[in-house]
Homo-oligomer: A and B are copies of this chain.
Amino acid sequence: MAKSTTPKGFRDFNPLETSRRSYIFNTIEKIFQLYGYQAIETPAMENLSTLTGKYGEEGDKLLFKVLNSGDFLGKLSEGEIASGKSTKISDKIAEKGLRYDLTVPFARYVVEHFNEITFPFKRYQIQPVWRADRPQKGRYREFYQCDVDVIGSDSLLNEVELIQIICDVFNKLHIDITIKLNHRKVLLGIMEGIGEADKFNEITGIIDKLHKVGIDQVEKELIAKKLNAVAVEQLKSLLTLKNHSNKEKLKVLNRIAGNTKSGANGIEELMLILNSLESSGSKIPVDIDMALARGLNYYTGTIIEVIARDVKIGSICGGGRYDDLTGIFGLPDVSGVGVSFGADRIYDVLLELGQFPEDNMLATQLLFVNFGEKEATHCLPLIQAVRKAGISSELYPENVKLKKQMSYADKLHIPFVVMIGEDEIKTGLFTMKNMKSGEQQKLDLEGIINEINT
């Protein structure tokens, strides 16, 4: 029969990769817990009515839809079938879709379980999401998000806390980062200040690409959108404030947007966040970035994005405040703020930086060589005793040549091998080999356990 492979855009993870991924998940999860967040899980599938229309037109196209089971065509009229229009028919033959992100399912969760939840609700969620995107380097059709959100509180202390979490996570992972910070209201204030509020979406779309295309290209595109010349100059003066401190940037910003209600409000909030971060004592690499807009349009306040300083891979974490996420499910006026860590990109960054801990592989620590049925049987209670002492160990299951067994230990990076043959059974002293140093010594069971555990 034909050889089967993983579908395009999907990946297997071998033991080394899986253990490295666990290292990332565990690091992130421990920090979420340290800050008092609790885990929830939602199902892989949601009703398509829950998902559709939440991610823009592009997003809708990227939803993986699950075919109804049974006679799915039975529900269609003959006319519909004959029409042969995929877009029309897909809604009727597929009622469920795979999770596209963790934010929309979380909003659905909050509304569905509203009465059981104690607010402010601090939750985290680490689960895979699926997107029918064209696969390319660094873009997968199945990838993990690690989301952390507070819902039911509009205090800026939540923003402060999330930024601290970001810092702690990347410190722990040894990744140098810049946390880019902006505010939707600041963006709105700027557009009002330069007299171009009606072109909000076009302008933010253009300036969001600044770091990719450069200021000259941005200027060209702004002019193409028929912005007035003063507006273009003012935007340029904001976007080229590269080597200025956050406070200097806010000053310039204040001149342009401070007179508008939105602008003043956004600037004040950014100031408060910066001041609180300063009071909290830790040095945090936050950088006000007026070009940051972020695509998803449910953000209404702070916007956050994290980039790795030493690896060019785009954003590895991002989020912001949304004032009305649950509104789409019938529960208005519940403010929330959250960020999402992209575990798969963080993996790529750690790999490129060579920052995975070396002893991360959770391999067997001790291999018992198999010299035959009698010897193997003698090993059975010994290996159980070793495991009871917390040492992960295994008995080679087959009585094959010693060389093959040693090569197995070698390939799996098993650090210790114990050989128990006829002589060793008689004396109760077993030959243990340190696979790194090559050193051998005769030890009893207790000696072996002590040697490995120290």
Give A347 to B128 CA distance when docked, in angstroms: 22
B interface footprint on A112-129 (CB within 8 Å = 1, 0 otherwise) = 110010101011000010
Chain B residue contacts of A297, Cβ below 8 A: none
- Hey, what's the 0/1 contact readout for A356-390 against B, CB within 8 Å counting as 1? 00000011100100100000110011001001001
Number of copies: 2
Assuming the A-B contacts A108-B4, A279-B377, are A84 and B81 also in contact, with contact meaning beta carbons closer than 8 angstroms in the complex? yes
Interface membership of A74, Cβ < 8 A: yes
Stretch from A11-19, A215-223, A287-295 that touches the partner = A11-19
- Chain B residues closer than 8 Å to A2, beta-carbon distance: 49, 330
Pick the contact of A34 from B123, B142, B392 — CB < 8 Å?
Answer: B392
> Which one, B71, B84, B408, contacts A86 given CB within 8 A?
B71
**A43–B142 CB distance below 8 A:** yes
Are A123 and B4 CB-contacts (below 8 A) given A279-B381, A280-B384?
no
Q: A1, B328: Cβ atoms under 8 Å?
A: yes
Least CB distance, A262 to chain B, in whole angstroms: 23
Of the residues B94, B128, B150, contact of A67 by C-beta under 8 Å: B94
Which chain B positions have C-beta within 8 A of A108? 4-6
Q: What band does the interface of chain A fall in when counting residues whose beta carbon is under 8 Å from B?
A: 35 or more
List B contacts of A184 (CB < 8 A).
none
21 cross-chain CB contacts under 8 A: A4-B112, A6-B43, A6-B46, A10-B43, A10-B44, A12-B112, A15-B38, A19-B38, A19-B39, A33-B362, A33-B392, A35-B387, A36-B364, A44-B128, A62-B69, A65-B67, A67-B94, A70-B86, A73-B84, A118-B411, A161-B397
Known: A35-B387, A155-B398, A157-B397. 6 other contacts (CB 8 A): A5-B47, A39-B362, A65-B66, A67-B90, A82-B82, A157-B376
Residues of A within 8 A of B (CB): 1-7, 10-15, 18-19, 21-22, 33-36, 38-47, 49-50, 61-62, 64-67, 69-74, 76, 78, 81-82, 84-86, 89-90, 93-96, 98, 108-109, 111-113, 116, 118, 120, 122-123, 128, 130, 132, 141-142, 150, 153, 155, 157-158, 160-161, 164, 276, 279-282, 328-330, 362-364, 367, 370, 376-377, 380-381, 384, 387, 390-395, 397-398, 408, 411-412
